[in-house]
């Protein structure tokens, strides 16, 4: 079958249907290769047409804490002070570069999530 970059929603839906048919194909076969290629085309279309924004840093921290079964007191032991954690969650205190590094290391939250545009501007101004 001949494929091209997906440009319309109609082409996208056809590709999804075809991918669904080929989904269980064995890797390394003609149908498996076709499914893999379709997956790349579909992924490209979705990235361009349905972008996912980076989550809010505080929501990401809360979500990761929930996943790890951590409470605010646990985060306080990571960041240093219970009052600091409360201030961060109430948005009275901004995240420092040191805090971002610690949160990244201890909670495995990507830097790009912890540093949003306003944080990046503030950190840049401090240097």
Do 76 and 118 sit in the same domain of this protein? yes
3-state secondary structure of 97: helix
Which pLDDT tens digit goes with each residue over 14-48?
A: 999 999 999 999 999 999 999 999 999 999 999 99
Do 37 and 80 sit in the same domain of this protein? no
Residue-level pLDDT at 83: 84
pTM of the complete model:
0.56
Calculate the alpha carbon distances from 108 to 6, 96, 112, 113, 123 in Å: 35, 17, 12, 11, 21
CATH of the domain at 110: 1.10.260.40
Do 73 and 109 sit in the same domain of this protein? yes
Do 107 and 62 sit in the same domain of this protein? yes
Do 73 and 98 sit in the same domain of this protein? yes
- Indicate the number of domains in the chain: 2
């Amino acid at each position: 079958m001949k494929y091209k970059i997906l440009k319309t929603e109609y082409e996208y839906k056809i590709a999804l249907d075809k991918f669904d048919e080929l989904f269980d194909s064995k890797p390394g076969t003609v149908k498996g290769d076709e499914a893999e290629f379709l997956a790349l085309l579909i992924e490209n279309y979705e990235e361009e047409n349905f972008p996912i924004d980076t989550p809010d840093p505080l929501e990401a921290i809360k979500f990761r804490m929930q996943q790890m079964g951590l409470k605010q007191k646990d985060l306080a032991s990571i960041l240093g002070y219970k009052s600091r954690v409360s201030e961060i969650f109430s948005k009275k205190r901004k995240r420092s570069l040191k805090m971002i590094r610690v949160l990244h290391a201890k909670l495995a939250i990507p830097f790009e999530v912890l540093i949003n545009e306003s944080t990046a501007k503030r950190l840049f101004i401090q240097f």
